[in-house]
Structure 1
Amino acid sequence: MKEENYKNPIIHADYSDPDVIRVGNDYFLVASSFNCVPGLPILHSKDLIHWRIINYAVKKLPSPEYDTPQIGKGIWAPAIRYHNGKFYIYFSIPDDGIFCCYTDDPFGKWSDIVLVKKAKGWIDPCPFWDDDGKAYLINAFAKSRIGFNSKLCISKLSEDGLSVLDEGKIVFDGTNTQPTIEGPKLYKRNGYYYIFAPAGGVKYGWQTILRSKNVYGPYEERIVLHQGNTLINGPHQGAWIETEKGEHWFVHFQDKGPYGRIVHLQPMTWFEDDWCIIGVDQNQDGIGEPVLEYRKPETEEESSHFYIECSDHFDSEKLSFAWQWHANPRDEWYSIDIQRSVLKLFAVCAKDSQQKRSMFYMPNLLLQKIPAEEFEVVTKMKANFNTKGSSSGLIVSGYKYSAIGLERREDGNYLIQILGEIVGANANEKIVESKKIDGNEIYLKLKMGKGANSEFLYSVNGKEFFKFGLEFIPKEDVWTGSKVGLFCVNRYAEGNVLEEDFAEFDYFIFNFWEVC
C-alpha cells in the first residue's frame, strides 16, 4: 500500500541550492557542488520523495586552479531545464562567468561545459524559453565579486541557449524590501512571468515570488514562505514543480550547520488571484510555513523506495556516485582491485605550505556528504607504508575537522587522532592522541549523534571496538557542510605521490538508527 505521508527533510544531506524539473514521469534534481569533484550531482526520483544519485554533469573543473582545494569557489547554484529534447544545466563559477552543459540523456554523457557569459560576480543563472521561442537568462550578483547584490538581471539568450546576447537589464532591486535576493528561477503561468527567489540570507531568510505581465517588469513582490513559528530556519532557494497529476510542490533547502543544506519538500497552493503560498499558513499570517509531515505527492508511479547510496564495498571499476574528491583528481591517487573488492589509496604529498599546515587542504581527500543526523560508519584498512610520515584513515572534514588513522614513524605504525580548525588564513592542527599499534591492519569507526556530536573508535579484530581520542563537533566550511571520508597522505615527503606507500580499504559501511 502506498504510504500516506512523508516526513521532512526528504534528503538529510548537503544538496544545497536544489533545482528540480519533471520530464514525463521522471524528476531530476541538481545542486551546487562548489570545489568538490566530480561536480554538478544529478539525482533522480519517481515520486519526489525517494532519490538516488545517477550522474555528475562535470567531471573536472575547468582550470588548473582547481587542482588544489578552492574552498567556497567552484560550481554555484545550478538550474536544470528541458527544452526541445535536450536537458540543460546552467551554473556559475563566480570568478569566471556563467556556464552551461547539455545532453539528451541525463543518465549518460554530458557535453563539455560552454562559457555562456564571461563575467565576474554573475551568479545563480536560470534560462527561460518563452512561448514565442525567445530565450532569456535571469541571474543574481555576488557582492564579494562585483561589489553589489540584492539585484536580479534578465538578459537575452541565443535560441540554442549557449550565449548571452546583451548586457541585460536589472528587473528588480530588493535592497530595501528583499535584501540579498538571489537564486532566481523564472517561470510562466496564466500570462504572468514569475520569479521565485530567496531573500534575507541563508540561515534566516524566506522565499519571495515576483510577478509581472512583462518579462522585464515592473514586478510585484510577495513573501510566500518563511520560518514563522516552526523550527525550520531559512526555508528558501529551490524549485517549483508540477506533477503529472497537476499538483504543485516546492523543493528547498534548510541550513543545518555541519550537516550542510538539507532538502525539504513543501506543498504549494495557488489562488484565484494567481498568487500562491508555499507550505501551510499555520499561524494565519498570510504566509506559508514549512511542514515537517504531509501527505505524499500524487505521481504516476508509487514509491520505489530507493535512497541515496552511501556504503561502498569497492566491487565496481569506478567509485560510486557517493564519492567526491576535494579538488580535481589525478588517476595516480587511487585504484580499485575488483577481484579483491579493495580500494587502494596512494600517499599524496603536500605541494604548498597550506597543505603542510592542514590536512583539510589536501586535494585527495575522498569524501561523502553526511547522510543522516545520527549514524555510524566503519571501514577496514590495511596500511602499507615505507616512508616516515605517511598516514591514512578516516576523516570528518570542515573548518573544524578530525581524523583517525595509522601514521608511519621510525619505530612502526601509530594510531593517531588529529584535531584541526581553520580560522581565517590560519590552520591550527595537532595530534591529540597517539598509540603504537602492532601490525598494519585496523578497523576504524565514526559515531555521529544529534548535533553532530562525534567520536572515533578502533578495533584490531572487527568485533570489539574501543573509543579513541577526544569527542568533537565538526564545523561546516564556506557554503558546504562537513563531510566524511578517507585520506592517504604524506605532508613531509617530497614529490607528488609515493607509489610504495598506500592503504587498502575493504569497505566503507554506514549504519543508521533511522532510514536516511
Structure 2
Amino acid sequence: MKRVNLGGHRSLKRRPVGLLFVFMSLVTLAGFSQNKNVPVFTQAVYQGDDQVYKDNPLKADEFYNPILQGCYPDPAITRKGDDYFLVSSSFAMFPGVPIFHSNDLVNWKQVGHVLERTSQLKVHDTGISAGVYAPAIKYNPLNDTFYMITTQFAGDFGNIVVKTKDPFQGWSDPIKLKFNGIDPSMFFDEDGKAYVVHNDAPDQGKELYNGHRVIKIWDYDLENDQVIAGTDKIIVDGGVDLSKKPIWIEAPHIYKKNGKYYLMCAEGGTGGWHSEVIFSSDNPRGPYKPAPSNPILTQRHFPRDRANKVDWAGHADIVEGPDGKYYGVFLAIRPNEDDMVNTGRETFILPVDWSGEFPVFENGLVPMEPKLKMPEGVENKTGQAGFFPNGNFTFTENFDSEKLDYRWIGLRGPREDFMTITKKGLQIKPFPVNIKEVKPTSTLFHRQQHKIFSFETTLDYKPASEKDLAGIVTLQNEHSNYVFGITKKGDEYYLLLERNEKPRRSRQVESKIVASTVIDIKNPVHLKVQANGNDYEFSYSTNGTDFVNLGGTVSGDILSTNVAGGFTGCLLGLYATSANDAIPE
C-alpha cells in the first residue's frame, strides 16, 4: 500500500486540494465508499401462496400441519418441564441442526443451531446431502443435561454427541463415539443407566437382501461419554417380520411407560414405503416383540392422485404434551401436482393415542389433513412475536439488523466468512468458488417452503469481468440448480439464466444458458424467482416496478429429490462468485 504523508496541520491548510485528496484516501481505506464489485443486497422478500391454505382457512382452535414447512426433516423432540425442544437434520448446511423451542407444541421459536462452530461442524468438502443426519435430542433429568447425538458424514467424525445444561446458551464440542452405523439416539432409565440405540449393518456374512439392517443397543457410560465396549447387542433384525424382507429399519427411539420399554423405529426407507413401527419389552436390552397393529404411522396405502397429498410419513419421535396427551413429530412430504418434492421433507405433528398397550398416531393411517385441533387452552400465535410461521405468509428481510434471522443459512461454511451487514444492506464477498463446486460457497440461503411462492431481492452490483457474477440461485444440490445473475462480457453487462444438471449415469454436470440479455446496472436491479408447482419463472426489473421475464417458464424438475436425488429440499440463495463460468450468449 502506498504510504500517505499527511504532513503538518499548517501545510494542510495551505494546500486544500491536498487535504481533499487525503480525506478521500482515508475514506476509501476505511471502507466507507462502496466497491461496486462487491454485491450488496438491500432487501429479500419470500412470499408463499399455496392453494391448500386458501381452501382450508383456520378456525380459532386449529393450526396447520406441517409445523415446520420446507427442508426440516428427521425431527426429534424432548421435554424438560414446560419446555419442549425440537431438532432436525441439516446435512451440509451451516450452521447445523436447527433447534426450536415451544411450551405448547403448536407455537415454535427457532432459538439457534446446535452445531454452529467450525469445531463442531466440518462439512466444508462434502456434498450437500452428506454431513449431519438424523439428530436425536434427549434430556436426562438425573444430571440435568441435554444431549444431541447424531451421525456426521464429514470431518472424520462419524457418530458424535454434544451436550449442554441450557439449549439457549450453546452446546459443547463433539465427542466421537466408538461405534458404526447411523441414526443413534439415547435413552436414560430411571435407575440411572443410559443406553444408545442405532441402525447398523447385519453381522458380517449375514446380510440377507438389499436394505437388510438391524437395530443395536449399547450401554452408555455417562461419566466418560462413551459406549461401553462389548455391550453391543442386536435387538431388531431386519424389522417387524424378517420373512417379508423389510428394508431400512432405522431411526430408533426407546420410551418407558408403565414399567415397560417401547422401541419405535422407521421402516421401509424414506420414500413411498416409509412407515413407523413399534416393539415392546420388559428390559431395555430386549428381547423386543413387535406390536400386532404395525405400522402405527404410514401414508403408503392411498391413491397417488389424492388431493393435498401428504406422503413418505415416518422417522418419528414421541413426547408427552402439556395436556397429558402424547404427540409425535415425524417427517413427510407434500409433492406438487407433478409429484415432485421441491419443498423437501418437512416436520409434521399428530396426537398419539396411547390408551392401549401400544401407541398409534391418530389419523396417521388415513390420508392426512392440512390442519389439526389445538391442545386445549392453547392459542395459535404462529407467525407472530417471533414464532415460526406456517400456512401462507410473507417474510421480509431488510438486512438492517446486526442479528441475522436464523432461517438464513450458508452451505459448507459459516455465513460470517462472506457476509457483512452494512448501512446499505447485505454485502457478500464473492468467493472464488462456483455453485457447482463441493466447497463453501458465498451464498446466503432461505428454504423453499411452498409449492407456490415468490422470492425477490434488490441487487446493487457492477461485475469487473466474466469471472464475476451475483444474483439468485435456486439449488437442490451442487449439480442440480438454476443460476440467475448479473455478469460481464466484453464491455457490456448481462443478466443470464443458467440451468445446471447431471443426467443419470453421467459424471459431469451439464450447464446450459437458458437465456441472457444486456442489462442496465446504473441503478439497483430487482431479481425475482416465482413458482407454481413445477413451473418456475425468473424475471427482473430496472425500475423496481415493471418486471421482464427471462427464459420463459422452466421446469423445476431438477429442484426435486425425485430427479436430483439426495435428501434436501430446494434452497433459494443470494449468490456471489468470482469463479463464474456461465458466459452469456
- TM-score, with length taken from structure 2: 0.76
Q: 1:174 aligns with which of 238, 254, 259?
A: 238
Residue 503 of structure 1 corresponds to: none
Q: 1:237 aligns with which of 304, 310, 315?
A: 315
Q: Compared with structure 1, are the counterparts of its residues 150 and 291 closer, same or farther at alpha carbon in structure 2 (3 Å cutoff)?
A: farther
Q: CA deviation at 1:161?
A: 7.2
Q: 2:542 aligns with which of 432, 436, 460?
A: 460
The answer as to 2:333 corresponding to 1:264 is no
For the residues of structure 2 that align with 1:243 and 1:166, how far apart are their CA atoms?
36
For the residues of structure 1 that align with 2:237 and 2:201, how far apart are their CA atoms?
14
Kept in 2: contact 1:396–1:484 (CA 8 A): yes
Q: Compared with structure 1, are the counterparts of its residues 63 and 413 closer, same or farther at alpha carbon in structure 2 (3 Å cutoff)?
A: farther
Residues 13-41 of structure 1, C-alpha deviation per residue, up to 9 Å, x if partnerless? 11110011222222211001111110011
For the residues of structure 2 that align with 1:479 and 1:332, how far apart are their CA atoms?
26
Q: Compared with structure 1, are the counterparts of its residues 431 and 149 closer, same or farther at alpha carbon in structure 2 (3 Å cutoff)?
A: same
Q: 2:132 aligns with which of 72, 75, 98?
A: 75
Q: 1:296 aligns with which of 374, 380, 388?
A: 374
- Opposite residue 41 of structure 1, the aligned amino acid is P
Q: Secondary structure, in 3 states, of the residue corresponding to 2:429?
A: strand
Residues 268-293 of structure 1, C-alpha deviation per residue, up to 9 Å, x if partnerless? 11233x11211227xxxxx5664443
- Opposite residue 462 of structure 1, the aligned amino acid is G
Residue 159 of structure 2 corresponds to: 98
Q: Compared with structure 1, are the counterparts of its residues 468 and 362 closer, same or farther at alpha carbon in structure 2 (3 Å cutoff)?
A: farther
Residues 439-487 of structure 1, C-alpha deviation per residue, up to 9 Å, x if partnerless? 25200011122x3421111111111111111423022351111111111
RMSD: 2.7
Q: 1:277 aligns with which of 323, 337, 360?
A: 360
Residue 508 of structure 1 corresponds to: none
Residues 375-428 of structure 1, C-alpha deviation per residue, up to 9 Å, x if partnerless? 211100011322332000011001532121101222131111111113453211
Mapping of 1:132-171 within 5 angstroms?
A: 132-141=191-200, 149-160=212-223, 162-167=225-230, 168-171=232-235
Q: Compared with structure 1, are the counterparts of its residues 308 and 453 closer, same or farther at alpha carbon in structure 2 (3 Å cutoff)?
A: farther
For the residues of structure 2 that align with 1:65 and 1:77, how far apart are their CA atoms?
16
Q: Compared with structure 1, are the counterparts of its residues 453 and 37 closer, same or farther at alpha carbon in structure 2 (3 Å cutoff)?
A: same
Q: CA deviation at 1:360?
A: 7.9
Kept in 2: contact 1:47–1:303 (CA 8 A): no
Q: Which has the higher contact order (CA 8 A, sep 6+)?
A: 2
Residue 329 of structure 1 corresponds to: 414
Q: 2:520 aligns with which of 410, 423, 438?
A: 438
Q: Secondary structure, in 3 states, of the residue corresponding to 1:11?
A: coil
Kept in 1: contact 2:115–2:121 (CA 8 A): no
Q: 1:481 aligns with which of 569, 572, 579?
A: 569
Q: Compared with structure 1, are the counterparts of its residues 82 and 98 closer, same or farther at alpha carbon in structure 2 (3 Å cutoff)?
A: same
For the residues of structure 1 that align with 2:101 and 2:453, how far apart are their CA atoms?
24
Residues 71-123 of structure 1, C-alpha deviation per residue, up to 9 Å, x if partnerless? 321111011111232221111114632211122221222211221x1344x21
Residue 508 of structure 2 corresponds to: 426
Q: Compared with structure 1, are the counterparts of its residues 360 and 345 closer, same or farther at alpha carbon in structure 2 (3 Å cutoff)?
A: same
Q: 2:492 aligns with which of 406, 412, 424?
A: 412
Mapping of 1:482-497 within 5 angstroms?
A: 482-491=570-579
- Larger mean CA deviation between 128-137 and 155-164 belongs to 155-164
Unmatched segments (≥5 aa) in structure 2: 1-57, 336-340, 390-394
Q: 1:107 aligns with which of 168, 175, 188?
A: 168
Residue 509 of structure 1 corresponds to: none
- TM-score, with length taken from structure 1: 0.85
Kept in 1: contact 2:127–2:438 (CA 8 A): no
Q: Secondary structure, in 3 states, of the residue corresponding to 2:397?
A: coil
Q: Compared with structure 1, are the counterparts of its residues 330 and 240 closer, same or farther at alpha carbon in structure 2 (3 Å cutoff)?
A: closer
Residue 343 of structure 1 corresponds to: 426
Kept in 2: contact 1:278–1:288 (CA 8 A): no
Q: Compared with structure 1, are the counterparts of its residues 2 and 100 closer, same or farther at alpha carbon in structure 2 (3 Å cutoff)?
A: farther
Q: CA deviation at 1:149?
A: 4.7
The answer as to 2:114 corresponding to 1:57 is yes
The answer as to 2:460 corresponding to 1:401 is no
Kept in 1: contact 2:344–2:560 (CA 8 A): no
Q: Compared with structure 1, are the counterparts of its residues 348 and 314 closer, same or farther at alpha carbon in structure 2 (3 Å cutoff)?
A: same
Q: Compared with structure 1, are the counterparts of its residues 288 and 275 closer, same or farther at alpha carbon in structure 2 (3 Å cutoff)?
A: farther
For the residues of structure 2 that align with 1:371 and 1:13, how far apart are their CA atoms?
4
Residues 212-263 of structure 1, C-alpha deviation per residue, up to 9 Å, x if partnerless? 1111211111321121437322211121121121011111111342211012
For the residues of structure 2 that align with 1:36 and 1:367, how far apart are their CA atoms?
9
Residue 220 of structure 1 corresponds to: 289
The answer as to 2:382 corresponding to 1:305 is yes
Kept in 1: contact 2:409–2:415 (CA 8 A): no
Structure whose alpha-carbon radius of gyration is higher: 2
Q: 1:11 aligns with which of 68, 76, 101?
A: 68
- Opposite residue 48 of structure 1, the aligned amino acid is L
